[in-house]
Amino acid sequence: MYIRVLGSAAGGGFPQWNCNCPNCRQVRAGSPHHQRRTQSSIAVSADGTRWTLVNASPDILQQFQLFPGTWPKEGLRGCGIESIVLVDAQIDHTTGLYMLREKGSPWPVWCTDPVFEDLTRGNPILHLLEHYCGVARRDLPGNGASFHPEGSESLDWRALPLLSAAPPYSPHRNNPVSGDNVGLLIRDPASGKRVFYAPGLAEVDDAVFDAMAGSDCVMVDGTFWTDDEMIALGLSTKRARDIGHLAQSGPGGMIEQLGRLPRHVRRVLIHINNTNPILDDSSAQRAILAAAGIEVAFDGMEIAL
């Protein structure tokens, strides 16, 4: 199985257009220790030729231009991506759908019922696309049953309900329902290898931990270093956990959770917010990750399992 990181940043990207935090300032100034990143998305393939997109980022056109796997191969129109899986209804994971409207037939879009509700009510993008290519909605089972998205049918995909957060526009922003956010456990029957992907994760419960521990590679929430990161910078009044993200540092944080995994599991942080000090590869925080065997995803990263 092949995984290509199309976008490794959280919502806003890196640098974020209106942000003058130390990281955003330094990447604009050309610091060799800071690397630009686009918003959250990966592509998954069983054979390296046919792909399933996971999340449609607002930066999708730029991401496709940099990834030949998406380019048309034959005929006048085409795309290496055959279907789209959505882990939630957040803006950074869905607004790229607008940019894919030129397709000549409906896009297969896999999502849970709560995500489908948000994407047909608060943010009715799936309805709007009916005026363009249309959408063939596929039911993404939130109960762990396997599903087989187009482009990577031979892989065994399963979704786990996560404790995270629905988008601010959702009627269930403050009263979560199961399926607002899911993590993906993808297994390649050919190799027996598994990856777990969860860019938004507020709590590692037993089911999530078991999924992570049974994986060969985990790609998990790398949004914030500290729970009060946005508060400390004066950018928000909300804690990381309040908006659906478990911070890396501190008791019970992501570093501690990843430290409980079996040694052979590859650990990758993804969906990194522009305020996170780990975006400076010369930072003390980055050295702590390195010592813990934790990698930081970057745009264009490729993982073969």
Which residues here bind Mn ion, judged by CB under 5 A? 10-11, 90, 92
Contact call for residue 162 and Zn ion (CB under 5 A): no
- Considering beta carbons, is residue 12 or 149 the nearer one to ligand MLT? 12
H-helix segments, 168-253: 206-213, 229-232
**Site string (95-134) toward ligand MLT, x via CB under 6 A:** ----------------------------------------
**For the chain, how many residues are written?**
305
Contact call for residue 7 and ligand MLT (CB under 6 A): no
As given in the structure block, the two tokens for residue 303 are 């993982």
- Contact between residue 200 and residue 90 where contact means Cβ atoms under 8 Å apart: yes
Which residues have a Cβ under 8 Å from the Cβ of 95 and sit 6 or more positions away?
56, 57, 58, 125
Contact call for residue 21 and Zn ion (CB under 5 A): yes
The neighbouring-strand residues paired with 183 are 160
Q: Which of 5, 6, 10, 19 binds Zn ion (CB under 5 A)?
A: 19
- Considering beta carbons, is residue 10 or 46 the nearer one to ligand MLT? 10
* 302-304 sheet: strands from edge to edge: 135-139, 107-111, 81-85, 51-54, 41-45, 2-7, 302-304
> How far apart are CB 167 and ligand MLT at their closest, in Å?
6
Of 13, 8, 92, the closest CA to residue 43 belongs to: 8
Question: Taking CB within 5 to 8 Å according to partner kind, which of ligand MLT, Mn ion, Zn ion, none is near residue 274?
Answer: Zn ion
> How far apart are CB 281 and Mn ion at their closest, in Å?
22
CB atoms within 10 A of CB 266: 16
**Distance (Å, rounded) from C-alpha 161 to C-alpha 182?**
5
Contact call for residue 244 and ligand MLT (CB under 6 A): yes
Q: Which of 3, 5, 6, 10 binds ligand MLT (CB under 6 A)?
A: 10
Which residue, chain included where needed, has tokens 């696309």? 129
Contact call for residue 276 and Zn ion (CB under 5 A): no
Q: Which of 91, 235, 292, 305 binds ligand MLT (CB under 6 A)?
A: 91
- Considering beta carbons, is residue 39 or 70 the nearer one to Zn ion? 39
Question: Taking CB within 5 to 8 Å according to partner kind, which of ligand MLT, Zn ion, Mn ion, none is near residue 19?
Answer: Zn ion
One-letter amino acid at 200 equals G
Q: Strand 302-304 to strand 294-296: parallel, antiparallel, or no bridges (unpaired)?
A: unpaired
Contact call for residue 200 and ligand MLT (CB under 6 A): yes
The contact set with Zn ion (CB under 5 A) reads 19, 21, 24, 274
